[in-house]
């Protein structure tokens, strides 16, 4: 079926069909045709039960670890080795049981996956402690992640995939972050993150409109944003603004092109990208954002830093290719104002490299104002109160930033606030009247 279907509305319609047939409003043949149109009935999974089962499995694993730790010092090395592998063997036995007898039960798969991942971590930790194997926390996380990723595919666990992505962020922080305070190359992060992308593609192909696909997509997008920030800092190439403009625009375009909606609403991934573009635009509207600080000569750059630079450039190229792909197919499903963010940023960066940071900031300010007006107009055209208010909010934040970033008088600032506030009130009154009329 083309487009996106509101599954809740479909379930309601299916529940009404017997009453409509009994009342003679439609024939049984029409009811059967409606059933065929919407496809087979999807089995519903209680998401809360899945979460509780997963948490229960995690608590059981933690309890086993605590019981073992209570008498750990009194055990021989051989006994410790055997105990280290017992939770792992139990977990593997449960995996076999689930694959053979409970393969269609999502709570079973998710719970066993979490228990298996915990068992892997327990075995690695206990063996390392028993035999005094040296290594950093980053080494431990890397081994754990590489041994855990097959579980995600074997048990088709979305929660396990989300936990894996969070684990890559923990590994990233252990290499380059605030908690561990180390500044080693973070490039392995992208390899670890790519290992879970095929599973997201499987979820996308199976049901792009499912809550699990959307959740994993949002987590992957947020992890990519964090990873790009650290990669840009490591690369020291002063093109972080271009990289983020490309990434956020790519997220927005992916949400529009690959998660289409039959109504005027945006998919959560497109919404995340759109909000990201708005926030990045406000940040780049400050002149200080265009004061470049890198003093690393190009000849002194390492291979890892050049690879980081290539990753930064990948995202704006991807954004341009996605926009061109949709345009060549004769479609225009996205906002050109949002899609043009990487191009505007490249122009501003080119101006800033000529020691014209004020001109670069001025260009972004003009773009931010145009973006806010475009979002506001789209919100009014589609009667979307949220979208219209976001456009007004973007204009308001831009105005506030400039009021406190310049030498305007209090009267001028006050008039500006009044104008923006009146815009909020008028836009909402118009939208509410339109909604009431329809």
H helix and E strand count, the chain: 18, 0
Residue where the block lists tokens 């754990």: 144
- Residue pair 285/364 in contact (Cβ under 8 Å)? The answer is yes
Answer whether residue 256 is part of any domain. Answer: no
Residue count (the chain): 438
- What span, in angstroms and rounded, lies between the C-alpha atoms of 148 and 57? 16
Q: In the prediction, which pLDDT does 50 show?
A: 53
Answer whether residue 122 is part of any domain. Answer: no
Answer whether residue 28 is part of any domain. Answer: yes
- Cβ-count burial 91-121 (b if 16+ within 10 Å, e if not): beebbeebeeeeeeebbbbbbbbbbbbbbbb
Backbone φ and ψ of 192, nearest 5°: -65, -40
- Residue pair 259/269 in contact (Cβ under 8 Å)? The answer is yes
Q: What is the pLDDT of residues 379-400, one digit of tens each?
A: 877 777 778 788 888 888 888 8
Q: In the prediction, which pLDDT does 3 show?
A: 41
Q: What is the pLDDT of residues 68-105, one digit of tens each?
A: 655 666 667 787 788 778 878 888 898 899 888 888 88
Q: Which of left, alpha, beta for 26 (phi over 0: left; psi -120 to 50: alpha)? A: beta
DSSP annotation of 38 reads: T
Q: In the prediction, which pLDDT does 84 show?
A: 75
Residues 6+ apart with CB under 8 A from 162: 215, 216, 219
> pLDDT-derived band of residue 61, with 50, 70 and 90 as boundaries?
low
Answer whether residue 287 is part of any domain. Answer: no
More reliable by pLDDT, 222 or 267:
222
Q: In the prediction, which pLDDT does 145 show?
A: 93
- What span, in angstroms and rounded, lies between the C-alpha atoms of 369 and 361? 12
More reliable by pLDDT, 359 or 13:
359
**Total structural domains in the chain?**
1
Answer whether residue 187 is part of any domain. Answer: no
Going 327 to 206 to 246 to 394, the CA torsion angle's sign is positive
> pLDDT-derived band of residue 8, with 50, 70 and 90 as boundaries?
low
- Residue pair 301/239 in contact (Cβ under 8 Å)? The answer is no
More reliable by pLDDT, 35 or 7:
35
- What span, in angstroms and rounded, lies between the C-alpha atoms of 85 and 120? 9
Mean pLDDT taken over the chain: 81
- What span, in angstroms and rounded, lies between the C-alpha atoms of 76 and 73? 8
Can you read off the two tokens belonging to residue 243?
């990289």
Q: Which domain holds residue 35?
A: 1-42
Answer whether residue 338 is part of any domain. Answer: no
Backbone φ and ψ of 183, nearest 5°: -130, 50
- What span, in angstroms and rounded, lies between the C-alpha atoms of 42 and 280? 40
Q: Give the predicted TM-score (pTM) of the model.
A: 0.79
Helices (H), 102-196: 106-130, 137-155, 158-175, 188-194
- What span, in angstroms and rounded, lies between the C-alpha atoms of 278 and 272? 10
Q: What is the pLDDT of residues 287-330, one digit of tens each?
A: 888 888 766 676 778 888 899 999 999 999 999 999 888 888 77
Cβ neighbours of 63 (radius 10 Å): 10
Answer whether residue 135 is part of any domain. Answer: no
Answer whether residue 14 is part of any domain. Answer: yes
């Amino acid at each position: 079926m083309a487009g996106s279907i509101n599954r809740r509305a479909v379930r309601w319609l299916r529940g009404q069909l017997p009453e409509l047939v009994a009342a003679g409003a439609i024939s049984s043949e029409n009811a059967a045709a409606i059933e065929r149109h919407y496809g087979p009935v999807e089995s519903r999974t209680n998401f809360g039960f899945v979460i509780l089962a997963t948490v229960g499995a995690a608590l059981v694993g933690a309890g086993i670890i605590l019981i073992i730790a209570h008498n750990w010092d009194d055990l021989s090395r051989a006994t410790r080795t055997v105990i280290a592998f017992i939770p792992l063997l139990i977990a593997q036995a449960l995996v076999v049981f689930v694959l053979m007898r409970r393969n269609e039960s999502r709570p079973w798969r998710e719970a066993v996956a979490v228990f298996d991942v915990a068992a892997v971590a327990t075995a690695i930790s206990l063996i390392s402690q028993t035999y005094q194997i040296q290594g950093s926390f980053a080494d431990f996380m890397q081994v754990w992640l590489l041994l855990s990723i097959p579980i995600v595919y074997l048990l088709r666990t979305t929660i396990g995939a989300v936990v894996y992505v969070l684990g890559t962020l923990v590994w990233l922080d252990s290499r380059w972050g605030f908690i561990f305070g180390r500044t080693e190359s973070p490039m392995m992060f992208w390899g670890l993150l790519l290992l879970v992308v095929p599973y997201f593609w499987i979820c996308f192909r199976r049901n792009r409109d499912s809550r699990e696909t959307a959740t994993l997509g949002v987590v992957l997008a947020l992890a990519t944003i964090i990873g790009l920030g650290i990669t840009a800092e490591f690369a020291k190439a002063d093109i972080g603004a271009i990289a983020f403009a490309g990434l956020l625009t790519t997220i927005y375009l992916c949400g529009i092109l690959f998660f289409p909606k039959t109504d005027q609403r945006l998919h959560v991934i497109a919404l995340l990208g759109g909000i990201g573009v708005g926030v990045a635009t406000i940040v780049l509207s400050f002149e200080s954002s265009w004061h470049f600080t890198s003093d690393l000569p190009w000849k002194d750059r390492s291979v890892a830093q050049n690879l980081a630079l290539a990753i930064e450039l990948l995202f704006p190229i991807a954004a341009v290719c996605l926009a061109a792909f949709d345009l060549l197919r004769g479609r225009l499903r996205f906002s050109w104002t949002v899609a043009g963010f990487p191009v505007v940023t490249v122009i501003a960066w080119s101006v800033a490299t000529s020691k014209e940071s004020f001109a670069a900031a001025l260009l972004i300010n003009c773009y931010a104002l145009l973006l806010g007006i475009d979002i506001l107009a789209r919100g009014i055209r589609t009667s979307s109160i949220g979208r219209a208010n976001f456009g007004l909010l973007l204009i308001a934040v831009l105005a506030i930033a400039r009021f406190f970033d310049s030498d305007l008088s209090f009267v001028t600032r006050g008039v500006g606030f009044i104008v923006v506030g009146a815009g909020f009130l008028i836009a909402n009154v118009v939208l509410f009247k339109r909604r009431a009329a329809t």
